C-alpha cells in the first residue's frame, strides 16, 4: 500500500500548475533521454519549447505564461543534470 504522504503530494501537485509543468518536463526529459527519441543536442530546446507552451496554457495566456514555462523548463533540466552528476560522483 502506498504511503499516504506520497498520495497527498500527488494530489497537491494536481492543484498547482507550476509543479505540474516541472513534473511533466522532468518526466519527458527522462523518457526522451532513456529512449533516444530525440537527439541529446536538441532535447533541451524541445523541453524548453514544451515548457513555454504549457506555461502559456496552464499558468497564464500571456508573455508571463511563456516566461514562467521557460523558467520552469530550465529548472527541470538543471535539476535533472544536478541529480545525474551527483549520482555519478557517488558511484566513483
Cell of 29: 526529459
pLDDT above 80 for 4: no
Tell me, what's the pLDDT at 12?
A: 73
pLDDT above 80 for 27: yes
**Residue 2 forms part of a structural domain:** no
Tell me, what's the pLDDT at 5?
A: 75
**Residue 66 forms part of a structural domain:** yes
**Residue 72 forms part of a structural domain:** yes
Residue range 56-85: mean pLDDT, rounded: 91
pLDDT above 60 for 2: no
How many domains does the chain divide into?
1
**Residue 65 forms part of a structural domain:** yes
Split at pLDDT 50, 70, 90, the class of 3 is: low
Q: Rounded to a whole number, what is the distance in angstroms from the first to the last CA of the chain?
A: 35
**Residue 5 forms part of a structural domain:** no
Tell me, what's the pLDDT at 8?
A: 79
pLDDT above 80 for 7: no
Tell me, what's the pLDDT at 55?
A: 96
52: domain range?
17-91
**Residue 62 forms part of a structural domain:** yes
User: Cα–Cα distances in Å, from 54 out to 3, 5, 39, 62, 88?
Assistant: 29, 27, 22, 12, 31
**Residue 1 forms part of a structural domain:** no
30-44 burial by CB neighbour count: b if 16+ within 10 A, else e?
Answer: eebeeeeebeeeebb
Amino acid at each position: 500500500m502506498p504511503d499516504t504522504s506520497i498520495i497527498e503530494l500527488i494530489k497537491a501537485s494536481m492543484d498547482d500548475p507550476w509543479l505540474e509543468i516541472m513534473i511533466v518536463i522532468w518526466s519527458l526529459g527522462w523518457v526522451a533521454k532513456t529512449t533516444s527519441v530525440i537527439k541529446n543536442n536538441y532535447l533541451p530546446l524541445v523541453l524548453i519549447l514544451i515548457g513555454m507552451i504549457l506555461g502559456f496554457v496552464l499558468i497564464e495566456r500571456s508573455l508571463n505564461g511563456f516566461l514562467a514555462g521557460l523558467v520552469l523548463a530550465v529548472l527541470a533540466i538543471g535539476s535533472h543534470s544536478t541529480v545525474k552528476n551527483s549520482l555519478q560522483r557517488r558511484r566513483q
